[in-house]
């Protein structure tokens, strides 16, 4: 194990193995073998990272630089990310099993998120208020909210980090970034680019570790002002309880069981591609996976046939291979959960048209799977598996489709395939989801807000408004009269 690559955590501008020296191994999902080790943060390291962030927040080296200069640092970080996208992608693919073609291109695109917030850094403005009191000049200004605890999962970590770190730094905050203890190597490598970009020590620290020693001390720490969390609902409940200790402003971007509605007038080629992208893209390991396919009954058989034909050509293989189109799942536990969920669905009368089993080879490979559900109670329509499993269920009319789509505890993404413009507007307005894609799926942009309803969380990431979530508004009153302030005990 000592011969494996080793990743340290980054605290206050320095690299360290952590207070206790604890390390963990991370596996290559394509082989099932350990490929690297990483240092784990202890509570003392969390304290040190937050103390550094608090100090940096008040240090003139960060506090007093202009908003324009903050933007320039973010521009520099964007350039470094793009220059190192292939190497970061290689590390992420080795650590998480996602296709190299996806990790490297996604990382390169992430540079646009930092560039977007770099451009917004010097456009954070206050306002002069038309106050209803005489001789008063009243104005507002937006100030950094403070120390941010940003917590990201393994499945889209460069993207999900950018949606937090970009606006936080543009607003002038300092950040302790906690990477998942599952596949954290890309984030620890990314910390080197933060260092190279020239951010002052303590402005950003990058740590990882288990819940007890790292996540819990971080989210309940009294010096944390803001928590930005992406992960599952169960963990989020603990985060919210922990935030009661510090009253940190909290945003949650959680899971989903996103519906894709396909109406009988839809372009079937586009709809089939949308369902495949929404379910087999990233091996189904996406919070916006369109894992509930709702299909107008008259076209169900046609659509299934088209999906079968397309799926028969999917190349499952080594994620480092440019010819592979679907790689392994990140963990063996995902395979176990998927198999158990499919077993339950079959017992409920579901039909598996293809796939349904792990592939008999080294690594965490799951065959792409299509399930036709017998009822809305089918297990695959309710459980977020994080696997390449597509579930389809028919509907007979628009009202029924909307009712099925909204009958979920989640509400992150949604999709509608129809060539009827009026229907597209009508249905998308009624879907209880934070995102709705019409005749497309899984498109993202730094300009477009991202977030959900219900148990998919609250708050929004990306877009111009996200930067305001990392500021507080201060109101200043100035008496412009040359007369003394009136006696407060004399009422007029």
pLDDT per residue, tens digit, the chain (492 aa), is 458 999 999 999 999 999 999 999 999 999 999 999 999 999 999 999 999 999 999 999 999 999 999 999 999 999 999 999 999 999 999 999 999 999 999 999 999 999 999 999 999 999 999 999 999 999 999 999 999 999 999 999 999 999 999 999 999 999 999 999 999 999 999 999 999 999 999 999 999 999 999 999 999 999 999 999 999 999 999 999 999 999 999 999 999 999 999 999 999 999 999 999 999 999 999 999 999 999 999 999 999 999 999 999 999 999 999 999 999 999 999 999 999 999 999 999 999 999 999 998 899 999 999 999 999 999 999 999 999 999 999 999 999 999 999 999 999 999 999 999 999 999 999 999 999 999 999 999 999 999 999 999 999 999 999 999 999 999 999 999 999 998 999 876
Phi and psi at residue 443, to the nearest 5°: -80, 140
Domain 6-254+452-476 has CATH 3.40.605.10: yes
CA distances to 50, 65, 198 from 61, in Å: 17, 6, 11
CATH of domain 259-438: 3.40.309.10
Strand partners, 312: none
Q: Are 435 and 457 in contact (CB under 8 A)?
A: no
- Whether the CA torsion 91, 96, 102, 105 is positive or negative: it is negative
User: What pLDDT is recorded for position 1?
Assistant: 44
| Residue of 278, 266, 480, 293 lying closest to 395 (CA atoms) | 293
pTM of the complete model: 0.96
- Whether the CA torsion 345, 338, 404, 310 is positive or negative: it is negative
Buried-exposed string 168-190: b where 16+ CB fall within 10 A, e elsewhere: bbbbbbbbbbbbbbbbbbbbbbb
User: What pLDDT is recorded for position 492?
Assistant: 67
For the chain, what are the domain ranges?
A: 6-254+452-476, 259-438
Instruction: Give the ranges where 312-363 is alpha helix by DSSP (H).
Output: 332-347
What the block records as the tokens of 15 is: 């690299």
What the block records as the tokens of 423 is: 């229907």
Strand partners, 137: 478
Catalytic site residue from 92, 102, 181, 253? 253
CA distances to 113, 227, 401, 467 from 66, in Å: 20, 25, 52, 16
DSSP-derived secondary structure letter, 38: E
| Residue of 491, 487, 477 lying closest to 135 (CA atoms) | 477
Is position 253 annotated as part of the catalytic site? Answer: yes
- Whether the CA torsion 208, 209, 214, 219 is positive or negative: it is positive
DSSP secondary structure string, 46-100?
HHHHHHHHHHHHHSHHHHTS-HHHHHHHHHHHHHHHHHTHHHHHHHHHHHH---H
User: What pLDDT is recorded for position 491?
Assistant: 78
User: What pLDDT is recorded for position 2?
Assistant: 56
């Amino acid at each position: 194990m000592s011969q494996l690559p080793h990743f340290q955590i980054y605290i206050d501008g320095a690299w360290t193995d952590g207070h206790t020296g604890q390390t963990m191994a991370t596996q290559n999902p394509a082989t099932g073998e350990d490929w690297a080790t990483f240092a784990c943060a202890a509570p003392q390291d969390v304290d040190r990272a937050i103390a550094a962030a608090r100090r940096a927040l008040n240090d003139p080296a960060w506090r007093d630089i202009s908003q324009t200069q903050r933007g320039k640092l973010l521009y520099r970080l964007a350039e470094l990310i793009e220059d190192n996208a292939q190497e970061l992608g290689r590390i992420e693919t080795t650590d998480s099993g996602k296709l190299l073609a996806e990790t490297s291109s996604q990382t390169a695109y992430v540079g646009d998120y930092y560039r977007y917030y770099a451009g917004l850094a010097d456009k954070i403005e206050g306002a002069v208020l038309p106050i209803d009191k005489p001789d008063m000049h009243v104005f507002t200004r937006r100030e950094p909210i403070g120390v941010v605890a940003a917590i990201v999962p393994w499945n889209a970590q460069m993207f999900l980090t950018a949606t937090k770190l970009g606006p936080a730094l543009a607003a002038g905050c300092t950040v302790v970034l906690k990477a998942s203890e599952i596949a954290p190597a890309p984030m620890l490598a990314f910390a080197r680019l933060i260092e190279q970009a020239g951010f002052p020590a303590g402005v950003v620290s990058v740590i990882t570790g288990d819940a007890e020693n790292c996540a819990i001390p971080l989210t309940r720490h009294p010096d944390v002002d803001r928590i930005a969390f992406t992960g599952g609902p169960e963990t989020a409940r603990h985060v919210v309880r922990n935030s009661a200790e510090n009253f940190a402003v909290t945003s949650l971007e959680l899971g989903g069981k996103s519906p894709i509605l396909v109406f009988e007038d839809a372009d079937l080629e586009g709809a089939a591609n949308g369902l495949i992208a929404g379910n087999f893209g990233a091996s189904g390991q996406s919070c916006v996976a369109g894992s509930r396919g709702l299909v107008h009954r008259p076209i169900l058989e046609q659509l299934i046939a088209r999906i079968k034909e397309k799926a028969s050509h999917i190349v499952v293989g080594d994620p480092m291979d440019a010819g592979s189109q679907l790689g392994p799942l990140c963990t063996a536990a995902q395979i176990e959960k998927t198999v158990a969920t499919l077993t339950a669905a079959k017992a409920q009368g579901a039909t598996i048209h293809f796939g349904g089993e792990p592939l008999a080879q080294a690594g965490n490979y799951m065959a792409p799977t299509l399930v036709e559900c017998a009822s809305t109670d089918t297990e695959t329509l309710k459980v977020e598996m994080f696997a390449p499993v597509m579930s389809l269920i028919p509907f007979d009319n628009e009202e029924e489709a909307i009712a099925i789509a909204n009958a979920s505890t989640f509400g992150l993404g949604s999709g509608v395939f129809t060539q009827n413009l009026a229907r597209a507007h009508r249905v998308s307005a009624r879907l209880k989801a934070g995102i709705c894609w019409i005749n497309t799926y899984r498109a993202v942009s730094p300009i477009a807000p991202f977030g959900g309803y219900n148990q998919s969380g609250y708050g929004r990431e990306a877009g111009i408004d996200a930067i305001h979530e990392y500021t507080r508004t201060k109101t200043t009153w100035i008496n412009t009269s040359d007369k003394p302030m009136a006696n407060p005990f004399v009422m007029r």
